[in-house]
Amino acid sequence: MKKSLLALALVSLVPTMASAIDLSEDGTFKLTGFYNLTGAKILSGSALGSSDPWVYQQWNCPCTIQGWEYASVYQKNKGFQFNQESLIGVQIKKDFTPTFSATAQLVIRANNPNEGSRPTVDWAYATWTPAEDSAWTFQFGKMRIPLYYYSDYLYIGYAYPWVRPAPDVYGWPIYAYNGANVSYRTQLGSSDWATTVTAWTGGYTQKHDAYDTLIYYTTPTHESWKKILGGSVAVNNGIFDVRAMFMHYKDSTWQDNPDGTRLSFVDDQSTKIMGISANMDYKNWLIKAEVDRYEQVDPPKGLNNVYKYALFGVGYQYGAWTPMYTYSQYTTVNEPTEGRKTQYLSLRWDFRKNTALKLQYDVTKDKSHYSYPFFGDSKLLSISLQGIF
């Protein structure tokens, strides 16, 4: 499929795109950008077997959450909303030498409860390679945690077929890390297969994070992931792309009491996240699959927080049109269970260079076993104009 090579290039957006804007005469300082103008409307919804309106936290429902990191929630009583996921971002890169560069990515979001209304610096890192053609790459600074297949370009909507990657799979309170990574890429013998092995380490603290504060507690809540150690192995041959990932870290979640003490929910708790993705772009066929598992288990402390989440999608490209069906779900294994299952029908139209218009219809079933109405069932209609420049 035509988008597969673009998706790979977007991992390092600036150096590979011909449309990059030169900010210096020698071409060593470049800028590229991306945007998503996304609107969505809840068509209907219900909770605990009733379609009567209800309130969950600060939201008037029927409602649905489509972005856990920034608490992007659509509410039926507000009609079409364009202020939950719309954004514009720029990435700048400076090449100091052929083997050393610095990259920063700034994003302005219509909805940004984590950082107020000011632009956020999603990335700010340096890259070094031992030689221009080296198989080794070293990076350090602030980067996205590569938990998922689409982690590095989650907000560059033009890189994937949906309006958004399935929120049943994509979204945790911590999504960046300050640290370092190393990767090694090599061809597997004389075959068409190549492999990339990556390891990363670091940590990150998010004060008043939207995920905990707005979705679960309503009181300002903080979360910190420390001593992150992660690794991934990816193999691809231009048609098939398979990636396995494992990460371990220490999790702390707390609230600050007025007397200066902490109310801790977990404190330096050992946590694991693991996953595997398998994708195929063959002729006009497109298949996407991803399965992940989160484990925070400590029987002496009464902890048994295990999440299982997955997605599967199949699409077909007819010229500039790409229709696709996708299914996703997540669930916890302990009671009270939290869970959701969603079916998506999406249509992508590449009507002009570097620009796509997407239409998507989601049917979500809330499988949570709560005594109170959570987000509930919903039917959501989304439209999004997405592009790169």
pTM (two decimals):
0.92
Q: What is the SS3 string spanning 334-374?
A: CCCCCEEEEEEEEEEEEEECCEEEEEEEEEEEECCCCCCCC
CA 375 – CA 261 distance, rounded (Å): 32
CA 26 to chain centre: 34
Instruction: Provide the residue-wise pLDDT of the chain in tens; the chain has 389 residues.
Output: 444 433 333 433 433 444 689 988 898 999 999 999 999 999 999 999 999 999 999 999 999 999 999 999 999 999 999 999 999 999 999 999 999 999 999 999 999 998 766 788 999 999 999 999 999 999 999 999 999 999 998 999 999 999 999 999 999 999 999 999 999 999 998 899 999 999 999 999 999 999 999 999 999 999 999 999 999 999 999 999 999 999 999 999 999 999 999 999 999 999 999 999 999 999 999 999 999 999 999 988 888 999 999 999 999 999 999 999 999 999 999 899 999 999 999 999 999 999 999 999 999 999 999 999 999 999 999 999 999 99
| Domain interval for residue 87 | 2-388
Q: Which structure tokens are listed for 78? A: 């507000």
Alpha carbon of 71 to those of 44, 111, 148, 209, 294: distances in Å?
Answer: 20, 8, 19, 9, 20
Number of domains in the chain: 1
Cis peptide bond N-terminal to 165, omega within 30: no
User: What's 115's domain CATH number?
Assistant: 2.40.160.10
CA 190 – CA 180 distance, rounded (Å): 31
CA 327 – CA 345 distance, rounded (Å): 9
CA 75 – CA 132 distance, rounded (Å): 51
